[in-house]
Structure 1
Amino acid sequence: MAINLCVPKPQVSTTFLLYKFPDREDSHKFCKMGSEAEIVRKPRFLCLHGFRTSGEILKTQVHKWPESVLQKLDLVYLDAPFPSQGKSDVEGIFDPPYYEWFQFNKEFVEYTNFDECLAYIEDFMIKNGPFDGLLGFSQGAILSAGLPGLQATGVALTKVPKIKFLIIIGGAMFKSPSVAEKAYDSPIKCTSLHFLGKTDFLKEYGMELVKKCVDPVVIHHPKGHTIPRLDEKGLETMLSFVDKIQNMLLDK
Structure 2
Amino acid sequence: MVGNQVQRKKPRVLCLHGFRTSGEILKKMIGKWPESVLGNFDFDFLDGPYPARGKSDVESIYDPPYYEWYQVNEIECVHFEECVEYLEDYMIKHGPFDGLLGFSQGGMLASVIPQLQTEGTAFTKVPKIKFVIIISGFALRDLKSGPPKLLANVYSVPIDCPSIHVIGEKDFLKERNYKLMNLFVNPLLIHHSVGHTVPKLDEEGLETMNKFIEKIREMFPQELQSGLGLKSAL
Task: Please give the TM-score of this superposition, normalised by the length of structure 1.
Answer: 0.82
Q: Which residue of 2 aligns with 1:164?
A: 130
Worse overlay, 220-229 or 180-189? 180-189
Contact 1:42 / 1:246 at 8 angstroms: preserved in 2?
no
Q: Which residue of 1 aligns with 2:167?
A: 196
Note if 1:249 corresponds to 2:217: no
Q: Which residue of 2 aligns with 1:72?
A: 40
Q: Secondary structure at the match of 1:220?
A: strand
Q: Which residue of 1 aligns with 2:231?
A: none
Q: Which residue of 2 aligns with 1:32?
A: none
Q: Which residue of 2 aligns with 1:222?
A: 193
Q: How does 1:33-182 map to 2 (within 5 A)?
A: 36-105=4-73, 107=74, 109-175=75-141, 176=143, 177-179=146-148, 180-182=151-153
* Residue 77 of structure 1, CA deviation: 0.2
Which has the higher relative contact order, 1 or 2, with Cα contacts under 8 A spaced 6 or more apart?
2
* Residue 182 of structure 1, CA deviation: 2.5
RMSD between aligned alpha carbons? 1.8
Seq. identity, %: 55
- Unpaired runs of at least 5, structure 2: 224-234
Number of aligned pairs? 218
Contact 1:54 / 1:80 at 8 angstroms: preserved in 2?
yes
* Residue 247 of structure 1, CA deviation: 2.4
- Unpaired runs of at least 5, structure 1: 1-20, 23-34
Read off the aligned partner of 1:138 and give its amino acid letter.
Answer: S
Deviation string, structure 1 residues 114-163 (Cα, Å, up to 9, x no partner) = 11100000000001111011100000001111111122222221110111
* Residue 251 of structure 1, CA deviation: 5.9
Q: Which runs of 4+ in 1 moved over 2 A?
A: 175-182
C-alpha distance in 2 between matches for 1:70 and 1:36: 27
Deviation string, structure 1 residues 206-252 (Cα, Å, up to 9, x no partner) = 11111110111100000100000000111111122112202211268
C-alpha distance in 2 between matches for 1:39 and 1:67: 19
Task: Please give the TM-score of this superposition, normalised by the length of structure 2.
Answer: 0.88
